[in-house]
Structure formats: structure tokens, C-alpha cells
Amino acid sequence: MEVPEPGVRTSPDDAGREAGLRRLAMMIARGEPHPAALRAVAGEAARQFAPAAACVVMCRSDGSTALAAESEPGWADRLPIGVTASALKTGRFTAAETGTGYTAATPVEVGGTVWGLVAVGAEQGGPPPDAERRLAEFAELVATAVANERRRAEHSASRARLVAASDESRRRIERDLHDGAQQFVVTAVLRLRSVAEMPSLPPEARAELEDIAAELNGVLDDLRELSRGIHPEVLSKGGLRPALRALARRSSVSVVLDLRLPDRLPEPVEVGAYYLVSEALANATKHANASTVEVAAETSGGTLRVSVHDDGIGGADMGGGSGLTGLKDRIEALGGTFAVESPRGGGTTVRCALPVHATVG
């Protein structure tokens, strides 16, 4: 067996290369974040073409290129422009001698357009005879990683749009209730009361009118409660702080609030945090047998963190209803994280972290 000289990197044999490609493919299929996946591709390409360096370059929309990953810091700066430009322009494998060594590049195509390229090179020697085929395997892996990342981004943008659309329709229903039905009932009550004050009215008729007015006032309360559940007006008008205070006031379990919040946050963030507290309080009341609930909300470093802790029986189960699952979907659609800790007998904590600049994509 040939023993490599110390310090000289040798490329793996066929089986080693296959195993390396399989490892990369699995890593990409697992949904490893994009930069890490591309770094792994560059590292593995360098290892398989050893002694060589490798990099992944992407094309920007303005026609310029940007480094996405490299196996050795600074190597990509020395890439000969001619080789990369030719690979990108022709859409084909390109190799050239550079000094005493070589550079080879293969374009990466995603969705029918050239996304960028994978390049390898060495300061000594020429490319291996099967360089084109082998580099194409790496380009394929990069294409898969990029396509996966795009699908993920499209998926989360569409989730965020769905949440925004449902919020918008809730807001519209709330406004319609407020401006339509509620105003109608308010006016009807005023008219009844003014008729009831007519001196000529028989006392029984007056009593009857007062009764009807009182009942209509009850309807008004119900309507207010209903529209609060749909989309609380105080949230749109005053922001998260007054809206959470209102939730705490109405709760039948005692609530301790610790709020360190700016006056306003982006609307989807305010709505997401509000629903989290509202659902967690409703759960603490319905299921927990709790005596106190602590609600904490603060923003720091561009993140809003909200937690709701009750001292009840614990044992909350995400699969048990639609409340907690719906919250998880909503928070994750905004790019946030959501967690429930609920050991039996140890109370329940529901928490989320939301990027404050969550926007609808």
C-alpha cells in the first residue's frame, strides 16, 4: 500500500467519494440551513479533488457574483475571472491552466437559470481526467440545497400571508360589528329611553320599554365581547401593552403582568403575541386549576419574548385541542419559535420568541 507523505493531502478513493457525496446529500435532504450546506459542499469538493481548494459562487440579480462558500479563506479571491465568466456564460464546465496549476468550474442551474457555480483548483498539476463529471455532482448538490431553501422561503412567506389575510378579515368583521350592529343597538337603546321618558306614557308601557332597553344593553355587551374575541379594538388602537392589561383585567384567574414593551410593534407581531396570551390565559382558566398566572413580555435585540406561566396542574398536550397547535402555526409563520413546558404537577409555561421585524413576504 502506498503511504502518503506526511502533510500531503490525498483524495479519497471511489468508495470514499461515494460516501462523502451520500453524506452531503443526506445533510441537504435533512434541510440543513443553506450557508452550512454550501460550506459543506465546498469542503467536500476540496477533499475529493485534494490537494485542491473549492468554492461556491452565486450570481446576483445585477449580474455581479458573490462568494457563497469556500474551503479555504481567501482562495476564491484568486479565482481567474476568465474561467468563472466562461462557465457562467456558456453554462458549461470550463477548465484552464493557471500558473503551475489549474482551475475548473461548473455552473449550477436552478429552475432553468444559472444560479452560480462550483469551482475547484490547485496550485500544482492539472485537473483529474473525470473532473467534469465529478464537479457536476457537486453542482447538482448545490442546486438541490438552493431549491430546498427557496421552497422553504416560499412556504413560510405563504404561511405569513395566510395569517395576515385571516387577521385582515377578522379586523373587517370587527369593524363591521362595531360600526354596524353595535351602533344600531346603541341608537335603538337611546330611542327607547327617550320614548320611555314621555310623561303621557302608561306606567306599564314605560316599564316594558325600560326592560327592552336593558335587554338590548345586554345584547350590546355580548356584541362587544364577540368583537373583542375576533379582533380586539384596543389592540389596533393602543398596541400590545393596553391590550394585555385588558386581558389581565378580564381574567378570572389573578394575573401578574411584567411588560417591558415599546409603544407599538409591527401589527402581525402584536396580534401574534396577543393571541398567545389570550389562549394561554383561557387554558389556565379552563384546564389548569391555577391560582396565579404570570405574563411577561419584553423586547430585546430585535426579538419579542412572551411567556405565560400558570401554577396549575400541568400536563398540557399540544395534540389535545386546536388552541396550542394554532398558536404554534401562527408564531412559526411569523418566523418565531413556540414552546410549551408542562410537567405534571409543575404548572404550564407557554412561550414564544418573535422577530420584531416580521413582515409579510
Ligand X SMILES: Nc1ncnc2c1ncn2[C@@H]1O[C@H](COP(=O)(O)OP(=O)(O)OP(=O)(O)O)[C@@H](O)[C@H]1O
Q: Which residues bind Mg ion (CB under 5 A)?
A: 283, 323
Nearest residue to Mg ion, scored by beta-carbon proximity: 323
Q: Shortest gap between Cβ of 271 and ligand X (angstroms)?
A: 17
Give the type of residue at 91: G
Closest CA to 110 of 142, 133, 136, 137: 142
Task: Give the nearer residue to ligand X in terms of CB position, either 220 or 313.
Answer: 313
Contact footprint for ligand X (CB under 6 A): 283-284, 286-288, 310, 312-317, 320-325, 348
Q: Shortest gap between Cβ of 49 and ligand X (angstroms)?
A: 53
State how far the Cα of 128 lies from the Cα of 348, in Å rounded to an integer.
Answer: 61
Q: Shortest gap between Cβ of 320 and ligand X (angstroms)?
A: 3
Q: Shortest gap between Cβ of 295 and Mg ion (angstroms)?
A: 16
DSSP class per residue in 5-26: PTT------HHHHHHHHHHHHH
State how far the Cα of 145 lies from the Cα of 28, in Å rounded to an integer.
Answer: 6
Count, in order, helices (H) and strands (E) of the chain.
Answer: 10, 10
H helix or E strand, kind and range, residue 104: strand 101-110
Closest CA to 273 of 319, 246, 251, 241: 241
Task: Give the nearer residue to Mg ion in terms of CB position, either 10 or 325.
Answer: 325
336 binds, among ligand X, Mg ion, none (CB under 5 to 8 A by kind): none
Q: Shortest gap between Cβ of 74 and ligand X (angstroms)?
A: 52
Task: Give the nearer residue to ligand X in terms of CB position, either 307 or 348.
Answer: 348
H helix or E strand, kind and range, residue 348: strand 348-355
Could you give the dihedral angle defined by the CA atoms of residues 112, 113, 114 and 115, in that order, rounded to the nearest 10 degrees? Answer: -100
Task: Give the nearer residue to ligand X in terms of CB position, either 34 or 287.
Answer: 287
Task: Give the nearer residue to ligand X in terms of CB position, either 147 or 313.
Answer: 313
Which positions ≥6 away from 230 have C-beta within 8 Å? 170, 173, 174, 177
Q: Shortest gap between Cβ of 316 and ligand X (angstroms)?
A: 3
107 binds, among ligand X, Mg ion, none (CB under 5 to 8 A by kind): none
State how far the Cα of 87 lies from the Cα of 130, in Å rounded to an integer.
Answer: 17
Task: Give the nearer residue to Mg ion in terms of CB position, either 312 or 323.
Answer: 323
Q: Shortest gap between Cβ of 279 and Mg ion (angstroms)?
A: 6
Task: Give the nearer residue to ligand X in terms of CB position, either 181 or 226.
Answer: 226
Give the type of residue at 19: A
State how far the Cα of 269 lies from the Cα of 299, in Å rounded to an integer.
Answer: 11
Classify the phi-psi angles of 66: left when phi > 0, otherwise alpha if psi is within -120 to 50, otherwise beta: beta
Question: If you ran DSSP here, which 8-state letter would residue 2 be given?
Answer: P
Task: Give the nearer residue to ligand X in terms of CB position, either 51 or 321.
Answer: 321
310 binds, among ligand X, Mg ion, none (CB under 5 to 8 A by kind): ligand X
Nearest residue to ligand X, scored by beta-carbon proximity: 321
Q: Shortest gap between Cβ of 259 and Mg ion (angstroms)?
A: 23
Largest CA distance in the chain: 119
Q: Are 56 and 68 in contact (CB under 8 A)?
A: yes
Which positions ≥6 away from 343 have C-beta within 8 Å? 314, 315
305 binds, among Mg ion, ligand X, none (CB under 5 to 8 A by kind): none
